[in-house]
A = this chain, B = another copy of it.
Amino acid sequence: MPKLRAHNITITLDGYATGTDQRLDAPFGDGVDGLHEWMFAALRARDEGDEGAAGIDADYVELGDENIGATIMGRNMFGPVRGAWQDESWTGWWGDNPPFHHDVFVRTHHLRPSLPMKGGTTFHFTDEPAETVLRRAFEAAAGQDVRLGGGPTTIQQYVRAGLLDELHLVVTPMLAGKGVRLFDNWGDEIDGYQVAEQVSSAAVTHVRLIRR
């Protein structure tokens, strides 16, 4: 059975997956500068052939792309525009050729036409229920797994709906103080998850949560 998986979801020591006041020049908002620095550093090291420095961090990042055929994300992860779209000029943070290369379902109450990009990525904007969006994503993935990209609000929703099978979490040693906490609003569904693995690099701690 194909799975719904979230990967490389990074939280601060005090639990935040994003800061406050997300905007064009601060995609993660204030207070969380450097949240994903562990990831960039690991991928840089791998690019430069420095396997010692790339280590398990780079392995985990790459695992997040394996056997993924479609992605679901929240509208706030797609971009900094809030409310009604003024126009259709915003096409995501990722440039002309986004690194997905498959169908990406963006959950929003503000619909707009599907947006085909170079390299096989197409963004679809949908206000359908979580289950319906997931069914469409599984169809698009044609037997592969579906990635739940984030942000934290979207992850909380899929957890509460009982639909998230795996969560690879990364705890990075910094404090944010405010923002959206990954582990708020899970309700009783939190009891449905167990820690399947916990491994630390010099930089961060990786944890894999699996739905029982």
Contact = CB atoms under 8 A, between A and B. Distances in A.
A interface majority secondary structure: mixed
B183 A14 contact: yes
A60 interface: no
A157 interface: no
Given A15-B183, A171-B171, A200-B200, 13 more contacts: A13-B195, A13-B207, A14-B186, A15-B15, A173-B195, A173-B198, A173-B207, A174-B195, A175-B183, A175-B190, A175-B209, A176-B190, A200-B205
Chain A residues touching B, range: 20 to 34
A14 B173 CA distance: 15
Interface of A: 13-15, 169, 171, 173-177, 181, 183, 186, 188, 190-191, 193, 195, 198, 200, 205, 207, 209
